Structure 1
Amino acid sequence: MDTFRELHTADAPLLLPNAWDVGSALAFEAAGFAAIGTTSFGISASTGLPDGGGSTRAATIALAALLCRLPVHITTDIEDGYSDDPAEVADLVAELADLGVVGVNLEDSRDGHLVDPAVLAAKVAAIKRHSPDVFVNARVDNFWFDEEATVQAVLLRALAYADAGADGIFVPGVTDPVDIRSITAGIDLPVNVLAHPTLTVAELGALGIRRVSSGSLPYRAAVDAAVNVAVALRDNQQTPAATSYWEMQSRLEAFSD
């Protein structure tokens, strides 16, 4: 199996589905995905909490401990590292690496606003000193929160994170193909975006993207699907086909063994 780093240099972009629990991860693994990420939104929502603010720390560690038993690469969304102290963030990543996690997403915002890029750069540098083999995907949130949402501003932050040792750059929220092409042309590291509303993974690859994350889309689509099933039952309509109880049960039995 290719290493997680090698998956970013294949002919096609790495498509990374993001799981929120063991059941979703087992389904992604059964579908043949070589790597699975976690989604902070999906994890927080499934526990009744809003995304952000460090609400997913304990649940993410617990889920990672389970998912690393799967024969796939596991990378985790750790928000901003749940701390302003680079040493504490580095310790967390080392703990995750000991579990078998191969990568982390680390964002440069807090409470919906950008932070000084030096803050994230210091965290990246601390992680790479202690866990050099972990793939650090530095998230640049300018477009996501519509603050300093220009290509040049993104590139300035990305350069600071690359200099600190980041292995990849994640730019959620960028959707314009011209902006995407300009960002990938200006960054020597693999660039990651969220699944695009109008561009396919192949089209994103042609723009220079090396990794496409589903983000919370599968979780949100799953909630919509659950509501649609209930509404269909209520309205005496035919329900959609679904993976059988026995198939899902067999996956869980195999996993628990």
Structure 2
Amino acid sequence: MVTPSAAALRALHHGRSPGDPLVLPGPWDAASARVFEEAGYEALATPSAGIALSLGYEDGQVPPKLMFEAVARITRAVGVPVTMDAETGYGLTAEELVDRVLEAGAVGCNLEDSYEGKGSTGVLRDPHEQADWLARVREAAGDRLVINARVDTFVRGVADPERAIERARLYVASGADCVYPILAPPEAIPALRAGIEGPVNALAMPDGPSPRELGELGATRVTFGPGLLRRTMAALREIGDGLRRA
């Protein structure tokens, strides 16, 4: 099997037409990764929350060793590029983080710009500090990783798209290949697209626009977080209920 490269993943982000975003399903284990590859997807994006759920942990609580091992099982199972949700970097140095991501077989990573904590308990990091961190990761990685810089303003209750755009511009200047204003409302995506140079990642929600519609709004790349695992669990509940009634 040919090892996928960051160059291959990076190329998938460019030259896309409106309505044709790069759609990256989120596998939580080797079996789900193979299903998505067999369905014809060009690349995959592991969700930290999905892997945490599959391992019996809360999001953000998986020991780094277990997270890297889970990602390695996924990358070994498929022949398409895999990008890893590396959360806030697990307290590693830029060099250590890059080495661990590459050792796990991933050719890309998400990096969040919040301090530890979820929802209202999290705190946005100073954007200049985050930009410096991203620059160190880029220097350590060279062109070996596709860096997706997550912008957490909407998660933390900052609704003004301009605040997300300000952060995104800093992160792109620091070497990020793509920016991810997670939980941006659909109506904000055109403004984000207009204000950000380079690819923009949008999160697809079960009750929101389809990936194609997100692309038409301006998203370059669409991911699902743990959403696909949650849909799978709902289907399993139905199967389980059916077996009890049979």
Normalised by the shorter chain, which TM-score bucket?
A: 0.7 to 0.9
Cα deviation, residue 90, structure 1: 3.4
Aligned counterpart, 1:176: 186
Change (3 A) 1:99 1:30: same
2:195 to 173, 186, 189: 186
1:104-183 correspondence to structure 2 within 5 Å: 104-109=109-114, 110-112=116-118, 113=122, 114-133=124-143, 134-146=145-157, 148-177=158-187, 179-183=188-192
Runs of 4 or more consecutive aligned structure 1 residues displaced over 6 Å after TM superposition: none
1:207 to 217, 226, 233: 217
**TM-score of the pair, normalised by structure 2:** 0.87
Structure 2 residue runs without a partner (length 5+): none
After TM superposition, the structure 1 stretch with the greater mean CA deviation from structure 2, 195-204 or 163-172, is: 195-204
The 8 Å contact of residues 13 and 220 in structure 2, kept in 1 or not, is answered as yes
SS at the partner of 2:171? Answer: helix
Aligned counterpart, 2:242: 232
The 8 Å contact of residues 29 and 73 in structure 2, kept in 1 or not, is answered as no
1:90 to 63, 71, 95: 95
The 8 Å contact of residues 94 and 140 in structure 2, kept in 1 or not, is answered as no
CA offset digits 1:94-138 (Å, max 9, x no partner): 332244321100001121321212232122111111112111000
1:38 aligns with 2:46: yes
SS at the partner of 1:8? Answer: coil
Change (3 A) 1:176 1:99: closer
CA offset digits 1:175-212 (Å, max 9, x no partner): 232x1100011000200011143312222112221000
The 8 Å contact of residues 191 and 210 in structure 1, kept in 2 or not, is answered as yes
Aligned counterpart, 1:72: 80
SS at the partner of 1:193? Answer: strand
* RMSD over aligned Cα atoms: 1.8
SS at the partner of 1:63? Answer: helix
Aligned counterpart, 1:255: none
CA offset digits 1:120-166 (Å, max 9, x no partner): 212211111111211100000111232x2210110111111112111
Structure 2: which amino acid aligns with 1:102?
A: V
Structure 2: which amino acid aligns with 1:152?
A: E
SS at the partner of 1:37? Answer: strand
1:60 and 1:119 mapped to 2: Cα distance? 25
Structure 1 residue runs without a partner (length 5+): 237-257
1:58 aligns with 2:65: yes
After TM superposition, the structure 1 stretch with the greater mean CA deviation from structure 2, 63-72 or 211-220, is: 63-72
Identical-residue share of aligned pairs (%): 36
